[in-house]
Amino acid sequence: MYERFPYEAERISALLLTHAHLDHVGRCPKLVKEGFSGKAYMTEPTRDLAELILGDSVGILREEARQKGIEPLYEERDVERFLSLIETVPYGKEIELGDNFSFRLQNTGHILGSASVRFKTDDASLGITSDLGNSPSLLLPDSEPITDADAIVIESVYGDRAVDDKETRIPVFRDTLKEALTKGGAVMIPAFSMERTQLMLYEIGNLMSAKEIPPVPVYLDSPLAISVTEIYKKYAKDYFKKDVQGELAKEGDLFNFPFLSMTRAREDSERISGVDGPKIIIAGAGMSHGGRIGMHQIRELPNKNATLLIVGYQAPGSPGRLLQDGAKRIRLNGKEVKVRATVKTLHGWSAHADRDGLLSYAESCLPRAKTFLCTLGEPSSARFLAQRIHDYLGVRAIVPEGNETYEIAGDKVRKIK
Ligand SMILES: [Zn+2]
């Protein structure tokens, strides 16, 4: 992460940012620090979310560097310079990058503002999906296929996994919440601040207003997630799917309901523990690896009436994964905690297309696409997806290695280095 980029940053004339997840935007200010001064293209919501996420990470990186005794990855001034290079573009508009070279962004339904890119010259066109959403999403329109590219670089994060049961996710969520709240204890939901938190708020609000779950206090206890939710609200009218826009016109605010408190200040967060009876707490970090959820877990996990609801991927070794795997004791913020609470995992809330979603996305890019290049995730999942694209769709699918160079000419793709 700290090493120099393997190319000369000052020679790059344009940067295209597909979405604001940290594994995509995280090193943009470093590129600026190494000399990049071209234009940075992205959608408007991606710009707002990137500004927030980078502002949040600068302090964390400074602290990490101080502990390691090294120079920070980048500083505030690099973030500011990066932000000053941004040019926002809407979905669907062809943007000229140079003589006979242009691109267009399309919705991928992954997170707010997320986009794929289709590049075009006179004799070739290339699509890059970046992360593809788990369509249909509750909030965002379905990912749009790239139907005018000869070759497509397709993501393969869940290329070998069927991760979801989207049809049952809401009834299962409702029944699990009902059961948990009946016990009278706290329900803790560790959630990543972007997309997952907003889905949770939206669905809890829906269930409460339909009286399908009892009215109990709900806390969004994360300053970052509160700010992200504000950005979701700002762009809901233009970026959410049609039927949700109808709801928005009727209700005015999709992420607020009578029993919700947004606790930005630490004092307000600390007051949550004094509220007796059933309650729902949504807080970061998503894998219980820090943040305010740790504080709630230290207090609530020993309580047999409490419930921990896991709604996202938990990396091996993370506290969230240990809890998911049934740990009876866990170390959180340096404290040993006994686990008597119920721990449940809910499926169907992933923001990534799974193996069938990826295959049907690839199919929707035919007949123009003649070659797929599968990247991202484990090499085994990229190979699995490539095999399925080849077998089921009858087109060429490649798993490129790092640092390889391919040439695309018409519908021919060949490795040149
Ligand atoms: Zn992503």
Per-residue pLDDT of the chain (417 residues; tens, 9 = 90+): 889 999 999 999 999 999 999 999 999 999 999 999 999 999 999 999 999 999 999 998 999 899 999 999 999 999 999 999 999 999 999 999 999 999 999 999 999 999 999 999 999 999 999 999 999 999 999 999 999 999 999 999 999 988 767 889 999 999 999 999 999 999 999 988 899 999 999 999 999 999 999 999 999 999 999 999 999 999 999 999 999 998 898 888 999 999 999 999 999 999 999 999 999 999 988 898 888 999 999 999 999 999 999 998 898 999 999 999 999 999 998 899 999 999 999 988 889 999 999 999 999 999 999 999 999 988 999 999 999 999 999 999 999 998 899 999 988 999 998
Ligand 1 centroid–CA 320 distance in Å is 20
| Interatomic CA distance for residues 107 and 88, integer angstroms | 14
pTM value is 0.94
- Compute the distance from residue 27 Cα to the ligand 1 centre, in Å: 14
Cα 25 to averaged position of ligand 1 atoms, centre (Å): 10
353 Cα–ligand 1 center, Å:
11
How far apart (Å, rounded) are the C-alpha atoms in residues 312 and 306? 19
**Cβ distance 384 to 157 under 8 Å?**
no
C-alpha of residue 150 to centroid of ligand 1, in Å? 24
Task: Please give the distance, rounded to the nearest whole angstrom, from the Cα atom of residue 352 to the centre of ligand 1.
Answer: 8
Surrounding ion ligand 1 within 5 Å at CB are 21, 131
193 exposed, middle or buried (CB, 10 Å; 0-12, 13-18, 19+)? Answer: buried
Question: Distance, CA 217 to ligand 1 centroid (Å)?
Answer: 31
Structure tokens, 366: 């035919």
Per-residue tokens: 94: 């062809």
Q: How far is the CA of 110 from the centre of ligand 1 (A)?
A: 7
3-state secondary structure of 41: strand
Residue 164 is predicted with a pLDDT of 64
Q: What is the pLDDT of residue 165?
A: 76
Residue 154 Cα to ligand 1 middle (Å): 13
19 Cα–ligand 1 center, Å: 7
The residues with which 153 forms a beta bridge, in sequence order, are 128, 373
The pLDDT of residue 163 is 75
How many angstroms separate the alpha carbon of residue 158 from the centre of ligand 1? 12
CA of 197 to the centre of ligand 1 (A): 15
Phi, psi of 197 (to 5 degrees): -60, -45
How far is ligand 1, taken at its centre, from the CA of residue 100, in Å?
30
Which tokens hold the place of 412? 């021919």
CB atoms within 10 A of CB 2: 11
Cα of 405 to ligand 1 centre, how many Å? 24
